[in-house]
Amino acid sequence: MMGGMTYRVCLVCMGNICRSPMAEVVLRRTLTERGLGEQVTVDSAGTGGWHVGDPMDERALAILAQNGYDGAAHQARQFTGDWFSRYDLVLAMDRDNLVTLRRMAPADVEVRLFRSFDPAAPPDAEVPDPYYGGREGFEEVLALVEAASEGVAKHIADEIG
């Protein structure tokens, strides 16, 4: 991170309508609660372009709202290789997207799994895609991203120290 600049993180899933925007909203709040909100920018994107411009999945919005989060401003975006220069940290929601991102990434850029920051999770743990399931899948995603967001916030605090 360049001195005096904002630390920038991007969270990435497949379509940018469920997992990564949920994680973006949760991580942003976690950072704000830790007093880091002004120093860190949180974005999200998908490796695929099918949903570009779309709002978050209604089920994701509903679960967030029921838990005091607001995802209404979200518009889906697609992550492309030239984006790596914009971010200090790029985190994938699952192994498939991790592989896709690593194929695109310059050699000096570290891409990690979002849940690798959750001390209670195995290092290769994923945030499962809830898109084809029911409400409980979205509830699980929220619980998983809340747990991992604490670890991501700690990591960022150490980085900007």
Q: What are phi and psi of 78, to 5 degrees?
A: -110, 130
Instruction: Please identify which of the residues 10, 13, 18, 115 carries the catalytic annotation.
Output: 13
Q: What is the CA radius of gyration of the chain?
A: 14
The answer to whether 89 and 9 are in contact (CB under 8 A) is yes
Please indicate whether residue 43 is annotated as part of the active site: no
Q: Please state, in angstroms and rounded to a whole number, the distance separating the CA atoms of residues 136 and 40.
A: 30
Please indicate whether residue 158 is annotated as part of the active site: no
Instruction: Please identify which of the residues 18, 19, 57, 59 carries the catalytic annotation.
Output: 19
CA distances from 79 to 18, 101, 113, 156 (A): 15, 9, 16, 21
Please indicate whether residue 19 is annotated as part of the active site: yes
Q: Please state, in angstroms and rounded to a whole number, the distance separating the CA atoms of residues 35 and 99.
A: 33
Helix, strand, coil percentages, rounded to 5, for the chain: 45, 15, 45
- SS3 for 13? strand
Instruction: Please identify which of the residues 43, 94, 118, 129 carries the catalytic annotation.
Output: 129
Record the tokens describing residue 114, joined without a space.
Answer: 């979002």
Which active-site residues does the annotation give? 13, 19, 129
